[in-house]
Amino acid sequence: MPVETDDCDVLGHQWDIINMARTRRAVSTHQVHLRCMRCLGLRHDSFDINGKLIARSYDYSDSTHETGRWKRGEKPSMAEMRIAMVRKHSCKKPAAAKQRRLKAV
């Protein structure tokens, strides 16, 4: 059975800050909103003025990162996910280019 995975499963997310804000309530907090440049998932962090993380949540545009997408015991190993990533991104050279390369040898 082919492994369904995306690059973030193997490499981790590539977060980019899209917005920062400071709230002034009973406890002053900082809000940081990030977007993964690969899968477009969103992460929302809240931390206090000392930098202690108070809350973190995620929003994903599709179901690729939903918790429980693999049934117990069915999650592919990291090695299987790496191989799936390599296969997904492998480019096959056109037959003509391969023939020219063989003639050059």
* pLDDT at residue 6, rounded to an integer: 75
* pLDDT at residue 9, rounded to an integer: 84
CA dihedral 8, 11, 12, 18 (to 10 degrees): -80
- pLDDT per residue rounded down to tens, the chain (105 residues): 556 667 888 888 999 999 998 877 667 889 999 999 988 889 999 999 899 999 999 987 665 565 556 777 888 888 988 888 888 888 655 555 556 656 665
Q: What are the residue boundaries of the structural domains of the chain, listed by start? A: 7-65+76-104
